[in-house]
Every structure is written in structure tokens, then in C-alpha cells.
């Protein structure tokens, strides 16, 4: 059996090679395994349990705001994908094509859905007839396929799991309201559940979703100061409705086109959790989303009464509403400590013979390693409070990281100078001209992340062309 | 707005054309919509809500018995599918093939998973090293694709949603125990939650899953007296383990092959619910699984106090733990009655001005149309009790249907004579010879359903060859 040193030594330090550290973690924490299908991963039980917690939380938020789940087909006929010009241009280059069913060649190729706007459009065109049928607020949980060239577990893979909401409304105002409502849900979920601070804003035209009139995003900063787009919400106006002939009869008995939105969040958020909170000993999971919030580890478990007491404490903690488990395997305590640190379990409860004599046990925080001696009778109150403290501390630490690595620049030269010393977000003004945006990306490697809702006055002119600029943009190297 | 007559008149009577009745129901109850992908359906919110209840219930049962969820890739490389000879022969003729990713032709074709044994085998071969890693008890919720020629919503479609459990064990005994444990879970779920009585038994060799040593099944009888295979559990021995080189080190430090099982239940069960309990007015849903168990319909809602009282009663019923909703739309009560009958909501609560004066409301059962006048103060106790009565009554009615349409036969001639008059299950002895089984299917149209665990003594000889026969088989025309 490996001791702590051995287990941990197999992870590359994040300061040496962040990308390798990430890859080591997803393997060592048993989150993914690679399959023989290139670019596709297996989500192992621990990652799946985390994803199920994410799903349950988001699904509840969706249902509380009136959304219903559906399941659309996995396939999209080529002719259906082609109905909306911008959309097909955006997605056709990266879809997988089914050409044969059994031994027969198909009359028409089917793509494996890269996203399901087209299927929802076709369905809404059929089932919505009058204003009484609106809005339709649908969501689906599924996997989608995009034939990416370079892949990384959770961050970019050929198949990934997500939810995609697709809604139709009688008016542009209602659709826009929905678009922003869902962006706010994503932001609240990221911040309150995943302890990941995000910047809410609008994407520039260049970075918009294929076919959208407006794309809104939440952008997070990872520990290495790169950006991760963490959830997007799109407003389509009636563009798809016109392409798919999605009409309804309004209250005045007139045919109108529907207004539409879509929004998605994916298993990418598992990557975000790893890269925001993880450290050189492994994962660090925010308590609210962690599959296991506390692990009980008996010390000197062979001594009389230790295992019984450990199990009794487990029940106390569980009764306090905590997701807890106990490790009674014959591995050494040191090995177990390292194992659950690797898995990012927020709290460890140690209890041995001497503790029992003194009527106490020890709680160890995964994030700070802080130890707290707790009397048995205080355990039920202490654990939930500590978990909340950890949740808050993780959020604040991530926020501090973002604040410390966010810079402002007045000119392209200043941007480049900052990037020679730092990685991070750079805020600057922008004139709104695509050419200037492209120039910044070309010269600095930073695409625009978004035009934040919370605007600041950085200056008066565009850092590239020098023309008057009233929009502040956040730039950053992105995953 | 349609009145009750109009809505119902659009359903074909089940006595006239059961298949058309079924198709009408799935459309009229808004369970599915057809998509432009031939043979694939859209699960609309009502079917999806029912499926989510099924998922939640089964998933809890799986987790209580130590199973963990994972997510495997959607694709299987052709070479991987081909590793187990029987398996590939069974599935290759009906898989969909991906040949292109983006604009490039793939070096190796990928099939869209028809079932995932091969992927689990590959994974287990990698992650299981010692007896300490066993058993591995994995399950996944996903959709699979089989390129069927003729399709029907829920019963047979090119894409369907299911769970597939895949487990590996150190010994044959443990694997067999697991195989039967899961069959029993399926049986319990079908009977206690879906109110569908099932016959547990073993499939004949001819009807086994491709690659399995033993296949166990639960078989249900639909209202039209045809059989529906409702869940299967397979024992693989070490057949796949040998094909995929799945070895582990046992306690004596010797390399051994793993023993394996798989088991699945699918959205087909939605079809089973429809065809077991439905009637000429629409769906009839078992209360335990129904998305909505009770609907409150105010009568003369414009009269003062009616809507308020109706909402108050809704809250009383919800507080009693019942999934309830209220319909306050401006449709007529008659229209609403028909609508929720179509949707199979188990109980309807009617309340109007006169009821309120008398301190009472009316509960109407969907299954029997029985009306019960209930005093407001008794509502919270009456509703859960009535729901339980409905659940039991549905089970007993289905059981009665099966018992009344199960026959015994001593000879092939007798079988044919029975089938001229009736549809149903026929029990007979069988010598175990595949030729006799095939002869019965050929001459009567009935494949064997299973060799029930609860054997009966029907006779002493095979009805075909006349040789001694000690096994009782149930035969039936199947979906």
C-alpha cells in the first residue's frame, strides 16, 4: 500500500506544469478514464456523483422557474441542420456523421447532435399554434458531440454532457427576460454552489453563438489566471423562427414569429471546480456540491471501542444532514488521509483511543489543513458550520485570485507589457470595431471574454485605433 | 374549446384496434412527438416526467444495493465491438455507423452504442487489478441506438433511453447472485411501483442476449393479452472476460478471469404502463409513479370564494405529501375532466359553490370513475388512502387479466386450438430441444417467453416431440 508521499509524488506540481497537474488530478482522483474512442472520456463514479449533484441543483432551479424537461433525438438530418445559415456554418465543420444504419447506406446523412436548436425548432413549429401555447420552457440533459481536434477531459472533449435549455416566447421582451434570467441562474449556481466567482456580460459579435443575436456569458478565472467560459445564454430574436417557419396566432388572431432563447452549462464545470480550488495534494471540493462532505477515519482502529465510536460519530454527523462516510478498510490512516485529500473531501474527522478518553475528536479542513478539536456533544453543530466556512473561504480565495490578477490597460502596448509579467484578465475600453478586437487577439493571444454588465470607466479611447470608446471589455487567455 | 366528447372521440377504441388506440394515446396524452429522424421520437414533458419518476425510483434501489453510476462514451470502435464473437453477431446488423468527423473520413468506423458491454469490458480490464477492486457495480443512464426496421413509440424505436448495469465479480457465484438480485429488483419495481404483475424466469438459449450464458427476464401481459419483455438480467460467466482479457489477482496471488453481469430496463416501461392500465378515455397512471397524482378542478370558478377554496384544498393535499396541481385556466370543467382523464391523473378533486356551503368536495377516481364525497377535514387522510387503493386495484385488475388469459396445453394441436379463440399466455412442458421451440413459434406465432422460476406440472411430455419433458415454459405473442 502506498503511503502519502508516494501517492502525492505522482502528481506534478501545479507551479511546475499546470496542464500536467490537471491531467494528473483527473486520473489520480479517479474522475476519468480514457477510452479507445479518441477524444472521448469515461466519467468514473466520483466525477459522475459530482455531476449528479450539479444536475440535481440546476434542475431544481430550472423547475422552480417553470421549465420542463424533454428528450430530443440524438440525430439531426443534414437538411434540418442546414436550415439556419449561420448555425450550420458554425457547426457543420465539427460534427460526426452517421452514414450507415446496419448494412444499409442512409438516404440522408445524420449528424450526431452538436447542439439541438434545430430539433427544438422543428418541434416548436409543430406543437405551438396559439399564444395560449406560449411560452414553452424546455430543457434537456444529454450528451452532445463536437469533433474537436485537441481535447482535454471536461474542458474540451468530442463528447460531453450538458443541459441545453430551449425556449420560445410570444414577444422579444419575454425572450430577452428569459435569456437574462437563465444567465443569472448560472451565475448564482457558480458562485453559491461551486464557490466560483464569475463576471456576467455580453459576448462581442465575433464570439457569439452561431445563429444568435446576443450571447451572454459568465466568465471565471482559474487558478492559473486563465479564463474559463462557464455558461452561456443566447437570445435568437426570431431568426430561427423565420428559418424554421415557427409561427403562432396572437391574441388578435394574427400570425407572428416566435422569439427564442437557448442556454447551456456542461461537465466543463467539473474542470472549473478542479482548476479553481485544487492544490498540489489533489482536488478541493466546495462542500455544497461535494459527493462526500466529511470522511470519518478511525486511528488505531484495532483498539477496543474505536471503530464503534467512529461509526457512532458518523451517524451523528449524518443526522446533522451532512453527506458523510467512514473508511474502515485496512489501509493505514496516513494512506487514507492522502486518499481523501486527493479526492478533495472538505472535512476529515479523526478519532483514536486517546480522543475517546477525552470525549473529543479532530476535524481537519481540506482547504487550509486547519485542525479543530471538537467535543462529541458539539459535533452536530460544528460540522455544518465548518462546512459553510469552507464554502465561503473557497469563494473568497478564488475572488482574491481574480482581483489580484485583473489589470487595466489604456493601449495595446500596455496590454503586451502586462502580459510579459503576468497572466490574468485585462480590462480595457473598446470602440466596438471587430478589426480592433481581432488585432488585440492577434498581438496578445487574448480573445475578448465579454463586455461586463458592470461597466467601469477605464479611459475614453480604444487601445488599438484610438477612436472614442465607451464600452469596457475584459480580455483573457482562455481554455 | 373542445368538449369531452370531441377530445375522446379522437381516440380509436381499444376493442376496435388496439395498436391504433396505443398510437392515439401517446399522441393525445402528449407523451411523444415524431421527429424528422425516422424511427426516433421526442419524449415530451409528460413522458419525460414519468420517466424521471421511474429513474429516481430505480436509481435509489440501485444505490441502496451498492451500485454507482458512470458515463461511458456514446461510440464504440468497430474493432472493439468485434472482440466477442456472439455479441458482434447479435448487434452488428442493427447498429448505426459514424464514418466521418467534420470533413474527415475516420480511420476506423465507430458505431453508436447499441449496448455498452464492450466499453465496460475495456474499462474493467484497465481499472481492476486485484480482488480488492472487486466487485465493481456500475450502472449508466443513457440512450442507445438500434437500427430497427419497424418502430413504435416506447416499444421499439431506433433510439431509446434506458439504464444498463454492468458488474464484475471475483467468483461465478457472486455474479449469479447479482444477476438474480437485479432481476428481483426489476420485478419488485414493476409490481409495486408500476402495478404490473410479472412472471420471473429464465430465457431459453434461443432467446438469450448475444454473448450471455444465462438471460433472466420479467414478462408482463398487456391489456390485449400480448406479452411484453419488461426487464432482463444477464449472466456472462467469464466469456467476455476471456475475450477482453479481464483478469485480476486473487487472494492467492493468482491471475483469474472476472465474472460478469449486465441488466437493463428502458423507456419501454412507459409503453407497458400505457398498455396495462390505459382505457378508452386515455392513460391510467399508477399513483406511485404518476407525475401528478391529483388535480384540483374548481367548478363555477367565477363564483366568489371557489378559486380560493380550491387553492386552499390544493395546499391541504400537497401538505399530505401528494403530488397535486390545480387547473385555473378558463377551459370548461368538462374539458378539464376529459383532459386529465386523457393524462391518466389518478384522482380528480372537484369543488364548487354548493360543496363549499356543505363543507365538502368530491374525489373522482380515474380507474373506476367512483365518486367519493369527502368533508374538508378528512381530505388530508382520505387522499393518500384512496391513492393506495387505486394502486392496489390496478395491480389486481392486471393480475386478473393475466390469470384469465393464461391457458395450459398438452400438445401443439391444443395450443393452436386455444389461439383460435383467445390471445394470451400458454403454459406447456418442453423437452429443451431448440427444434421443438422453433416449431411452436413457427406454427403458432408464439416465441417462448421464459421458463418461470415458479414451475408447475402441466404434463410429462413435450407437446411437439412427445419425449419426456420436465421444464414448464410460458409462450406468448410478444411486442
Query: What are the pLDDT digits (tens) for B187-206?
Result: 999 999 999 999 999 999 99
Nearest Cα to Cα of residue A359 among A333, A347, A377, A334: A377
Residue A297 near residue A337 (C-beta atoms within 8 A): yes
Q: Which of A478, A408, A418, A409 is nearest to A448 (CA)?
A: A478
Q: Are the Cβ atoms of A74 and B112 closer than 8 angstroms?
A: yes
- At residue B349, φ and ψ (nearest 5 deg) are -110, 120
- The DSSP output letter for A193 is I
Q: State yes or no: pLDDT of B305 exceeds 60.
A: yes
Partner A contacted by B94 (CB < 8 A): yes
**Chain B residues lying within 8 Å of A95, measured CB to CB:** 101-102
Average pLDDT (B332-346) is 97
Q: State the average pLDDT over residues B369-392.
A: 98
Chain A, nearest residue to B110 by Cα: A37
Give φ, ψ of B183 to 5 degrees: -60, -40
Q: What is the 3-state secondary structure (H, E, C) of chain B?
A: CCCHHHHHHCCCCCCCCHHHHHHHHHHHCCCEEECCCCCCEEECHHHHHHHHHHHHHHHHHHHHCCCEECECCCEEEHHHHCCCHHHHHHHHHHCEEEEEECCEEEEEEEEECCCCHHHHHHHHHHHCCEHHHCCEEEEEEEEEECCCCCCECCCECCEEEEEEEEEEECCHHHHHHHHHHHHHHHHHHHHHHCCCCCEEEECCHHHCCCCCCEEEEEEEECCCCCEEEEEEEEEEECHHHHHHCCEEECCCCCEEECEEEEEEEECHHHHHHHHHHCECCECCCCCCCCCCCEEEEECCCCCCCHHHHHHHHHHHHHHCCCCEEECCCCCCHHHHHHHHHHCCCCEEEEECHHHHHHCEEEEEECCCCCEEEEEHHHHHHHHHHHHHHHHHHHHHHHHHHHHHCEEECCCHHHHHHHHHHCCCEEEEEECCCHHHHHHHHHHHCCCEEEEECCCCCCCCECCCCCCECCEEEEECCEC
CA distance readout (Å), A91 to A41, A78, A147, B190: 21, 11, 10, 42
Sign of the C-alpha dihedral computed for residues A263, A220, A146 and B151 taken in this order = negative
Is some CB atom of chain B closer than 8 A to the CB atom of A159?
yes
Cα B187 from Cα A50, distance rounded (Å): 30
User: What band does B88 get if pLDDT is binned at 50, 70 and 90?
Assistant: confident
Residues 6 or more apart from A104 whose CB is under 8 A from it?
none
The residues pairing with A365 across neighbouring beta strands, listed in sequence order, are A347
Interface touch A75/B110, C-beta < 8 Å: no
Q: Which of B76, B127, B159 sits opposite A74 (nearest CB)?
A: B159
Which pLDDT does position B90 carry in this prediction? 86
pLDDT for res B1: 40
Total CB pairs under 8 A between chain A and B: 148
- Best B90, B92, B102 member to test A by mutation, with max A CBs in 10 Å, is B102
pLDDT at position A88:
86
Q: Using CA atoms in the order A383, A384, A385, A389, what is the torsion angle rounded to 10 degrees? A: 100
Nearest-neighbour CA in chain B from A144: distance (Å): 9
Collect the ranges in chain A with pLDDT lower than 70: 1-9
For residues A207 and A172, the answer to whether their CB atoms sit within 8 Å is no
Contacts of B83 in chain A (CB under 8 A): none
Nearest CA-CA distance, residue A105 and chain B, Å: 9
- Residue B9: band (very low, low, confident or very high) from pLDDT cuts 50, 70, 90: low
Q: Please give the residue of chain A at the shortest CA–CA distance from B66.
A: A45
pLDDT in the model for residue B180: 98
CB-based contact, B44 to chain A, within 8 Å: yes
| Contact: A123, B35; criterion CB under 8 Å | yes
Q: What is the pLDDT of residue B212?
A: 94
Q: Please state, in angstroms and rounded to a whole number, the distance separating the CA atoms of residues A54 and A72.
A: 21
Q: What is the pLDDT of residue A204?
A: 98
Is B68 in the A-facing interface, judged by CB distances under 8 Å?
yes
pLDDT (0 to 100) of residue A232? 98
Among positive and negative, which fits the CA dihedral A180, A181, A186, A191? positive
Using the 8-state DSSP alphabet, how is residue A378 labeled? G
Determine the Cα angle at B97 with ends B93 and B99, to 5°.
145
B72 vs A42: CB contact, 8 Å cut-off? Answer: yes
pTM for the predicted model, two decimal places: 0.96
Report the half-sphere exposure of A26 (CA within 13 A, side-chain side).
Answer: 26
The model's pLDDT over A218-245, given as tens digits with 9 standing for 90+, comes to 999 999 999 999 999 999 999 999 999 9
Summarize pLDDT for B213-238 with one digit per residue, the tens. 999 999 999 999 999 999 999 999 99
Q: Which residue has the cell 394515446?
A: B25
| pLDDT tens digits, one per residue of B392-451 | 999 999 999 999 999 999 999 999 999 999 999 999 999 999 999 999 999 999 999 999
pLDDT of residue A251: 95
The DSSP 8-state label assigned to residue A12 in this structure reads P
Start-end of H helices in A130-256? 172-188, 239-244
Best of A29, A75, A114 to disrupt the B interface by mutation (most B CBs within 10 Å)?
Answer: A75
Give the single-character DSSP code of A71. B
CB-nearest to B70 from A43, A70, A158 is A43
Nearest CA of chain B to the CA of A131: how many Å? 14
The C-alpha cell at A406 is: 485583473
Q: What was the pLDDT predicted at A7?
A: 53
Residue contact A97–B98, C-beta within 8 A: yes
B138 interfacial to chain A (CB closer than 8 Å): yes
pLDDT at B7 over 70: no
* pLDDT at residue number A1: 40
Can you tell me the mean pLDDT for B353-381?
97
Residue of A44, A72, A97 lying closest to B42 (CB–CB) = A72
CA dist A421 and A426 (Å) reads: 13
Mean pLDDT of chain B: 96
Ranking B5-9, B39-43, B280-284, B311-315 by mean pLDDT, the lowest is B5-9
Instruction: Note whether A122 contacts B: Cβ–Cβ < 8 A.
Output: yes
**Which residues contact residue B313 at a Cβ distance below 8 angstroms, ignoring those fewer than 6 apart?**
B296, B349, B351, B361, B376, B379
Of B42, B74, B103, nearest to A73 by CB-CB distance is B42
Please name the member of B51, B74, B97 whose beta carbon is closest to the beta carbon of A145.
Answer: B74
- Distance, in angstroms, between A401 CA and closest chain B CA? 33
Which pLDDT band holds residue B3 (cuts at 50, 70, 90)? very low
At B56, list the grid cell. Answer: 429516481
Amino acid at each position: 500500500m502506498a503511503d502519502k508521499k508516494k501517492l502525492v509524488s505522482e502528481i506534478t506540481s501545479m507551479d511546475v506544469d499546470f496542464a500536467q497537474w490537471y491531467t494528473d488530478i483527473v486520473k489520480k482522483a479517479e474522475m476519468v478514464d480514457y477510452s479507445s474512442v479518441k477524444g472521448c472520456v469515461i466519467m468514473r463514479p466520483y466525477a459522475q456523483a459530482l455531476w449528479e449533484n450539479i444536475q440535481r441543483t440546476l434542475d431544481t432551479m430550472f423547475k422552480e422557474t417553470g421549465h420542463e424537461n424533454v428528450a430530443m433525438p440524438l440525430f439531426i438530418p443534414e437538411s434540418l441542420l442546414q436550415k439556419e445559415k449561420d448555425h450550420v456554418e458554425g457547426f457543420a465543420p465539427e460534427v460526426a456523421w452517421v452514414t450507415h444504419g446496419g448494412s444499409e447506406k442512409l438516404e440522408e446523412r445524420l449528424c450526431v447532435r452538436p447542439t439541438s436548436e434545430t430539433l427544438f425548432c422543428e418541434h416548436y413549429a409543430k406543437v405551438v399554434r396559439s399564444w395560449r401555447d406560449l411560452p414553452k420552457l424546455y430543457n434537456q440533459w444529454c450528451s452532445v458531440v463536437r469533433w474537436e481536434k485537441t481535447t482535454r477531459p471536461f474542458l474540451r472533449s468530442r463528447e460531453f454532457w450538458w443541459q441545453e435549455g430551449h425556449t420560445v416566447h410570444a414577444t422579444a421582451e419575454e425572450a430577452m427576460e428569459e435569456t437574462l434570467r437563465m444567465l443569472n441562474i448560472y451565475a448564482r449556481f457558480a458562485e453559491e454552489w461551486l464557490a466560483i466567482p464569475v463576471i456576467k456580460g455580453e459576448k462581442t459579435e465575433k464570439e457569439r453563438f452561431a445563429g444568435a443575436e446576443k450571447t451572454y456569458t459568465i466568465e471565471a478565472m482559474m487558478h492559473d489566471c486563465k479564463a474559463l467560459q462557464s455558461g452561456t445564454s443566447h437570445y435568437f430574436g426570431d431568426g430561427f423562427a423565420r428559418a424554421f417557419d415557427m409561427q403562432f396566432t396572437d391574441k388578435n388572431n394574427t400570425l407572428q414569429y416566435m422569439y427564442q432563447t437557448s442556454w447551456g452549462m456542461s461537465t466543463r464545470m467539473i474542470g472549473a471546480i478542479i482548476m479553481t480550488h485544487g492544490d498540489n495534494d489533489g482536488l478541493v471540493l466546495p462542500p455544497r456540491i461535494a459527493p462526500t462532505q466529511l470522511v470519518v477515519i478511525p486511528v488505531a482502529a484495532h483498539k477496543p471501542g474505536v471503530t464503534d465510536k467512529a461509526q457512532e460519530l458518523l451517524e451523528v454527523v449524518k443526522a446533522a444532514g451532512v453527506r458523510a462516510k467512514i473508511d474502515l478498510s485496512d489501509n493505514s490512516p496516513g494512506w487514507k488521509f492522502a486518499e481523501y485529500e486527493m479526492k478533495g473531501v472538505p472535512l476529515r474527522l479523526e478519532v483514536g483511543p486517546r480522543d475517546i478518553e477525552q470525549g473529543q475528536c479532530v476535524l481537519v479542513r481540506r482547504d487550509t489543513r486547519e485542525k479543530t478539536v471538537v467535543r462529541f456533544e458539539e459535533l452536530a453543530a460544528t460540522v455544518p458550520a465548518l462546512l459553510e466556512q469552507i464554502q465561503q473561504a473557497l469563494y473568497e480565495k478564488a475572488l482574491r485570485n481574480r482581483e489580484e490578477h485583473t489589470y487595466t490597460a489604456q493601449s495595446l502596448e500596455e496590454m503586451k507589457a502586462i502580459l510579459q509579467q503576468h497572466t490574468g484578465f485585462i480590462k480595457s475600453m473598446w470602440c466596438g470595431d471587430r478589426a480592433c478586437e481581432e488585432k488585440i487577439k492577434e498581438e496578445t493571444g487574448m480573445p475578448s471574454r465579454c463586455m461586463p454588465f458592470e461597466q467601469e470607466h477605464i479611459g475614453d479611447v480604444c487601445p488599438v485605433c484610438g477612436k472614442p470608446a465607451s464600452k469596457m471589455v475584459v480580455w483573457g487567455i482562455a481554455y
